[in-house]
Chains A and B, each alone.
Chain A
Amino acid sequence: MNQVIDSILILLTLTGFVLLGSSRLAACIKAVGIQGALLGLLALVVQSGDLSITGVVLALIGATVKGILLPVLLFRAMREADTTREVEPLISFNLSVLAGALELAMSLWIGRHLRLPADPVSSFFVPAAIFTILAGLLVIVSRRKAITQVIGYLMLENGVYVFGTAVALRMPVLVELGILLDVFVGVFVMGIAVFHISRQFDHIDSLRLASLNDRV
């Protein structure tokens, strides 16, 4: 049981590194989709002791939205925005991966020192969650394109979800559905925003957006 959970958490961490290290947008979107599917699996495995119908349905909805729907939306946004397929990082990929390693060490330290009301099933739970959050933040700040920032935001949200799974075996249905809806709408809006930005300015470079003002 513990082995399966550990394996899923390791895969989650590894997809995080894939996201930090890959130079192709499509690979990044696929990685974040795989992460979403893994989250659904994780939720199922964690509560496999006492499975309830709502739990299973929630996990399945989560996996479908995060693993299929959102990647499809992102792929669409990528196509509509007609952007190049490279990621365009501000720091090199090697440096990103190294920074990721640093974040992993940091999250292991935090995981060891963080006091939780109930001990999570696996001691790698909290480190994996915090690493995913930090790696998501890193993707947001270190990539040029608006669409990679959406991907980073999704990853960050995945980390929050893992943390939630670690702390409370079962969140209230309404809360969980609400979060899911939030993310879905968020990505939907961002996808449209990315499309409009690219149509208005012929690019989705977030750095150049900062220099927009009226005083030309």
Chain B
Amino acid sequence: MFPKEVEVILARHLASYLAMPIFIVDPVGNLVYYNESAELILGRRFDEAGEMDAAEWGTVFQPTDEEGVKLSSEVLPLMVTVHERRPAYRKFWIQGLDGVRRCIAVSALPLLGQSNRFLGAMGIFWEVDGT
């Protein structure tokens, strides 16, 4: 693993103190961290799940739309943010690693560091009513 940029280190520290579920990916979409609140929704502690490449986390949580149609990782808000470097939002269903299906709403933001370096994206999400 490469050393993380200081802005990403600080983002992780901030996330670790916040109660909102937060998911952080690197510039190509690889998962680098999610916080304790996110663990409750994703169904596994980050220490156990560890870092995942974009293809893996984009499928391991089995994202679907409200009709149950499988979503490709490319349309998930974090990946939209990674590819287009803009904020993105979507409500969809996932299956946590504990096997429980949940509806979540994700707001993804690009992480732009000093000199406008693109460092990845941060997704803030909530479990919401799926009806």
Q: Do A and B bind each other?
A: no
Interfacial residues, chain B to chain A (CB-CB below 8 A): none
